[in-house]
Structure 1
Amino acid sequence: MAEALGVSVTDYTFEDCQLALAEGQLRLPADTCLLEFARLVRGLGLKPEKLEKDLDKYSESARMKGGEKMGIAEFAASLEVPVSDLLEDMFSLFDESGSGQVDLRECVVALSVVCRPARTLDTIQLAFKMYGAQEDGSVGEGDLSCILKTALGVAELTVTDLFRAIDQEEKGKITFADFHRFAEMYPDFAEEYLYPDQTHFESCAETPPALIPNGFCADFSPENSDAGRKPVRKKLD
């Protein structure tokens, strides 16, 4: 059919469409790298339905680590998969500095988005449990930035205006209850505070992706979709 219509064939699955088009407080930008992450998840044989059941287990393990970085072997053990080229590709998405160490919390946030793309607040709540201070579950601006960058699959994101809008008492920290209350009052907060001027996010590809009608990142085409390849650039930090 594609040949008859003169259009290209893509290797997106139904789950990819759900991820890219999901309604929620945080709509994924066109050049999100979570589509590549989702494809690697599938390549490793990790089933979304099982992952969703295991999210609490993964998040508790990540919370106990408290931001302590881990290498590829421990990363594999945490996900209960063997070390492989595919896993190394996934690992590199979170190894922004190239140090060979990653924060498991970031991977758990990305897994939550892939497993339940329309349930934004559930993902944010899970992230607050992992990043939040032990005494009150609060996070600072730096942690909020990390949470939202990972949830959106982008390399750069400014959250200062959003954080200040939520932290009206200027405590320098916010809880999930604060975030949830703000999101309920301002459901379009992302458009206003995170990318009001259509902020350009760093591309998944070596060159900026072309704009395409369905909002997918243009470099996710069949000829470039070999799940075992090394990523051209680090995507998440």
Structure 2
Amino acid sequence: MKRPVVVPRQESLMYPIVKNPFVHNLQFTTLDIVRIVIMSVTIAPVRLVSLALLFGLAWLLAKISLACRTPEEKQKPLEGWRKFLMRPMIMVGRAGIFCSSFHNVKIKGQPSTAKEAPLLIVAPHSSFFDSLVLFYCSEFPSVVSKKEISSLFLVGTLIEYTQPVLVKREDPNSRTNTIKEIHRRAHSGGKWPQIIIFPEGTCTNRSCLINFKSGAFYPGSPVQPICIRYPNQFDTVTWTWEGPGAFALLWYTLCQFHTKCEIEFLPVYTPSEEEKKDAALFAANVRATMAEALAIPVTDHSYDDCRLMQKAAKLKLPKAAGLVEFMKLNKKLGLNFDAASELLDRFYAIAKNSDGKITYEEFANYLRLPKSDALEEVFSLYDRDGSGTIDFREYAIGLSLVSSPENTEETIQFAFQLFDEGNKGYITKPELGQILHNAFNMDGLDSDALFDEVDVNQDGKICFDEFSQHAMKKPEYAKLFKTYQDAKTNGHQKQE
């Protein structure tokens, strides 16, 4: 029997029509394998050695440029001969790009100056190769970097040379201080270099633009959007949460005859007064402009989806189980990351199969209830796409829109009074078994097991506190209680 759709599905909370943006499946043809094998023993090693030498030369230039600076100079932009060394640094960087198989980076549009647009917004962010954008701007831009990275040998010197905005993880005010520093530089009248920012905050497969973080948009300064494309048939550059590792991708790229890259500098985007007051609106509008130029959709996926994917993997669920378009759930349901993480734990406790979905049978077993019309109706409220299973996203929506709103003190009190014959203030095992049998056709063994689970102090009675605590842990019961309450109310009205 086909289950009825009890409530209309909200389009705003349905799945997007884009594929998972955090997975990259690299498909090798026989020709690809042959090319990689041959290049691995011929050209690739030469390219790797050349990159190492160029990296060392870049480090030396950076070391010379930063040498003997006073504390006061460290608080100011590089000037004089120190700044002059940026030109050979850019030349070394472009040579490194050439050695990486990017023989002809195609440039569209005109790079802006720091005075025209103090902030550069780059998307989609899909690879460590995206850093090549730095060498094609009007001047060598600054980056936003974690303080720990700036302390690393060799790499730290190169990061320091960009005059970075450092993020200090140990500082509870790190986010605020970072925004303040970006604001200070953005409003310096072009004295500081442009700051280059990847607002997505994580790598995707370029199938869409995920949520832009608002940090770069709080200053309300003009920004220049920069679109980056890799139009290659064999994609060896995309580095995502699921797919080949960084070194493997680097080696595969070194083994290509030629790797294409296009960088498009869009016109400077000057925010309106409304956008200056609303960083989220500013970010969304810039993202929309870039998505239009790239001809790809936007989604409400974010870095928090990646965190949920990692947790799903730790719980032995498919990584994609945590892919929920988190920002959409956050905006529509007010669901924060900690709450979503807790829900994932509860979801795992129900979903025992390996594909990361809850079946009707698992739903019934979790609630210790037999299959019934009432339970099937509640299951259909969670199963928003009518697939016959509930994924994590549907479970989170179901708890927020179906169960939790019904799990009120009034509903819990009604349910307790329903079981408590004579208003004694507690429920006995026979009372619980009788109502569960009448309401949900539960047999005695299952009702006894449920009684023992709720009876925390094992005194043979369930008090209201015990009943309430269990109901709060499993709000899925609430809708069933409400359904039974409505049925009884309607029955009484018909009798009258």
For the criterion TM > 0.5, the same-fold answer is: no
Larger radius of gyration: 2
TM-score by length of 1: 0.32
The structure with the largest strand share of the pair is 2
The TM-score, its normalising length taken from structure 2, stands at 0.18
Say which structure, 1 or 2, has more relative contact order (CA 8 Å, 6+ apart). Answer: 1
